[in-house]
């Protein structure tokens, strides 16, 4: 078998998430082990200068190349990780530096394939690379991405999305799923499966590649929405209806629907179901309660209703979810 070395460039900058940078190279390195070094990737870390870069975890990394040097080379895959900041209330927002966005534009023109990791999707969007495309990011910043870049079709659920030559990945450990998908595209699923086994993970996650996260928190919650969310949480076990919420907020049902659409981008009914699924997930992860008891305690009424809600929102069953994510309290 002839040697194939595909140049993968990972962009570095101060404050970058450490796992976003180090996770994909681990996957690519294991490919060489599974193929006796005959096929694989050449991974290079690139930054504005060759000075050490301090990640969000405080770990310093040394770049191999400068962005200017990369701009003169042919790149197989450009990996764009991300960075977040939080305000005094703990709200998380993706960071997009204008100079970095300019380099993303430049280097993307040298690459056969571009992939963002976690909130790196915000950098791709700011560079105009996601306009008209379907994309994902970490669920905590998905609403920010949609608000700041209306031309992007944001889907916060999948672990990764491919649209043409552009790939976007979800948050944190999803960088491994994305990297495995890139390996599968380049060298076949059989090889990618062997790499996945070395990582002690699935080649494809159960649950329809879902992040298994329901983003229930608005970006900038108003007092009214905060009270409504609290009311929903406190009354999940009962027959909670849109009429109940409207009476609590002292508005009409039609006005309530507009409030949810404006502040959360969803309907009251969808929010209530999402909140109930979230509560059920927590109990599946941390208790040994029966499905009947969970269904009753979270407001689903019957086990069948619980199962349908899980299939609809997470594309899995409560039993499958518990098997994968159960942990002690």
CATH number at residue 296: 1.10.10.60
**Beta strand pairing status for 134-135 and 153-154?**
parallel
CATH number, domain containing residue 35 = 3.40.50.880
CA atoms of 197 and 182, how far apart (whole Å): 16
The pair of three-digit structure tokens given for residue 249, joined into one six-digit string = 């907020």
In this structure, how many other beta carbons lie within 10 angstroms of the beta carbon of residue 128?
Answer: 15
- Asked whether residue 214 is assigned to any structural domain, the reply reads no
Q: Per mean pLDDT, which range of 38-47, 109-118, 147-156 is the poorest?
A: 38-47
Considering the domain architecture, whether residues 51 and 172 belong to the same structural domain is answered as yes
CA atoms of 307 and 70, how far apart (whole Å): 50
Q: Classify each residue of 138-164 as buried b or exposed e, where b means 16 or more C-beta atoms within 10 Å of its C-beta.
A: bbbbbbbbbeebeebbbebbbbbbbee
Q: Tell me what pLDDT residue 38 has.
A: 65
Considering the domain architecture, whether residues 132 and 189 belong to the same structural domain is answered as yes
- Asked whether residue 217 is assigned to any structural domain, the reply reads no
Mean pLDDT of the residues in the chain? 88
Predicted model pTM: 0.70
pLDDT at 74 over 80: yes
CA atoms of 124 and 148, how far apart (whole Å): 12
Higher pLDDT, 157 or 129: 129
pLDDT per residue as tens digits for the range 199-250: 877 655 544 445 554 444 544 457 788 889 889 989 999 999 999 999 999 9
Catalytic residues: 118
- Asked whether residue 212 is assigned to any structural domain, the reply reads no
Q: Tell me what pLDDT residue 211 has.
A: 55
- Asked whether residue 211 is assigned to any structural domain, the reply reads no
Q: Tell me what pLDDT residue 70 has.
A: 98
Q: What is the mean pLDDT of residues 257-278?
A: 89
Q: What is the mean pLDDT of residues 155-172?
A: 90
- Asked whether residue 208 is assigned to any structural domain, the reply reads no
Q: Tell me what pLDDT residue 210 has.
A: 55
Q: Tell me what pLDDT residue 157 has.
A: 78
Q: Per mean pLDDT, which range of 8-12, 126-130, 262-266 is the poorest?
A: 262-266
Question: Measured in Å, how far apart are the chain's first and last C-alpha atoms?
Answer: 50
pLDDT per residue as tens digits for the range 297-308: 999 999 999 999
The pair of three-digit structure tokens given for residue 138, joined into one six-digit string = 């970490």
pLDDT at 139 over 70: yes
pLDDT at 59 over 90: yes
* Count of structural domains within the chain: 2
The residue segments making up the domain with residue 313 are 223-325
CA atoms of 294 and 152, how far apart (whole Å): 37
Q: What is the mean pLDDT of residues 185-197?
A: 88
Strands annotated E in 35-179: 39-47, 53-54, 60-61, 65-66, 75-80, 84-86, 92-94, 111-116, 134-135, 153-154, 160-163, 166-169
């Amino acid at each position: 078998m002839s040697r194939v070395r595909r140049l993968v460039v990972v962009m570095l900058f101060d404050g970058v998430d450490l796992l976003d940078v180090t996770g994909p190279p681990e996957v690519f390195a294991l490919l060489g082990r599974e193929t006796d070094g005959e096929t694989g990737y050449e991974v290079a870390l690139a930054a504005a200068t060759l000075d050490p870069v301090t990640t969000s975890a405080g770990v310093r990394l040394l770049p191999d190349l400068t962005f200017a040097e990369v701009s003169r080379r042919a790149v197989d895959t450009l990996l764009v990780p991300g960075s977040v900041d939080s305000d005094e209330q703990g709200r998380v927002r993706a960071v997009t530096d204008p100079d970095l966005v300019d380099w993303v534009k430049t280097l993307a023109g040298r690459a056969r394939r571009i992939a963002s990791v976690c909130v790196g999707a915000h950098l791709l969007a700011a560079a105009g690379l996601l306009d008209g495309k379907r994309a994902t990011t970490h669920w905590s910043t998905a609403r920010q991405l949609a608000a700041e870049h209306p031309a992007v079709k944001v889907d916060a659920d999948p672990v990764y999305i491919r649209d043409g030559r552009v790939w976007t990945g979800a948050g944190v450990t999803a960088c491994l799923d994305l990297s495995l998908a890139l390996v599968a595209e380049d060298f076949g699923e059989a090889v990618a499966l062997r790499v996945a086994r070395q990582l002690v993970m699935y080649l494809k996650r159960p649950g329809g590649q879902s992040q298994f996260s329901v983003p229930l928190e608005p970006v900038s919650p108003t007092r009214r929405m905060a009270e409504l969310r609290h009311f929903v949480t406190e009354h999940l076990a009962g027959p909670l209806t849109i009429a109940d919420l409207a009476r609590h907020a002292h508005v009409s049902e039609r006005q309530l629907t507009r409030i949810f659409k404006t502040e959360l981008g969803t309907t009251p009914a969808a929010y209530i179901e999402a909140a109930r699924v979230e509560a059920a997930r927590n109990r599946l992860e941390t208790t040994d309660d029966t499905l009947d008891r969970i269904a009753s305690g979270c407001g689903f009424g019957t086990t069948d209703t619980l199962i349908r809600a899980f299939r609809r929102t997470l594309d899995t069953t409560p039993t499958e979810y518990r098997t994968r994510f159960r942990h002690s309290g």
